[in-house]
Amino acid sequence: MTIKDANIALLRLFADGLLRSYCQWETFNATCYDDGVIVITSASYGRMRIGRCLTVQYAIGCMADVTDDVDRRCSGRQTCTISVPDGELFSLQPCRKDLIAYLEASYKCVTRKSNKRLIK
């Protein structure tokens, strides 16, 4: 196995439905290789919980399910990036606008042949 093959296998492992947080000034970067395309499995934007992006228990729990919005922008493509903060997602979240929000998203890669309806 080459280094490239190992890196691709590792990316597939981490990209296959793993929920990850993207803090302010970070970028959600979904990538599928070979014949794969992105399918967004979930996405939320707001102040979901204490963790890597939020370290103080203040205004926790305000969030919007933005799965459809991220799906519209990313699903069916081989690559997709969304920078945080993102104007479109920011406008959808119900938190006070002076508070820092973050994106939580997961996706998986499927082959184009098994999901032709997803290709945009």
Q: How many residues does the chain have?
A: 120
**Is residue 109 predicted with pLDDT exceeding 50?**
yes
Q: What is the pLDDT of residues 70-96, one digit of tens each?
A: 999 999 999 999 999 999 998 888 888
Phi-psi domain of 59 (left: phi exceeds 0; alpha: psi -120 through 50; beta: other) = left
User: What's residue 3's pLDDT?
Assistant: 53
Report how far apart the first and last C-alpha atoms of the chain are (Å, whole number). 33
Q: What is the pLDDT of residues 4-17, one digit of tens each?
A: 444 444 444 444 57
What does pTM read for this prediction?
A: 0.77
Every domain of the chain and the residues it spans: 3-118
Question: Which strand (E) or helix (H) includes residue 109?
Answer: strand 102-111
User: What's residue 15's pLDDT?
Assistant: 47
User: What's residue 7's pLDDT?
Assistant: 45
Q: Does domain 3-118 have CATH number 2.60.120.740?
A: yes
Q: What is the pLDDT of residues 24-65, one digit of tens each?
A: 999 999 999 888 999 999 999 999 999 999 888 888 889 999
**Is residue 22 predicted with pLDDT exceeding 90?**
yes
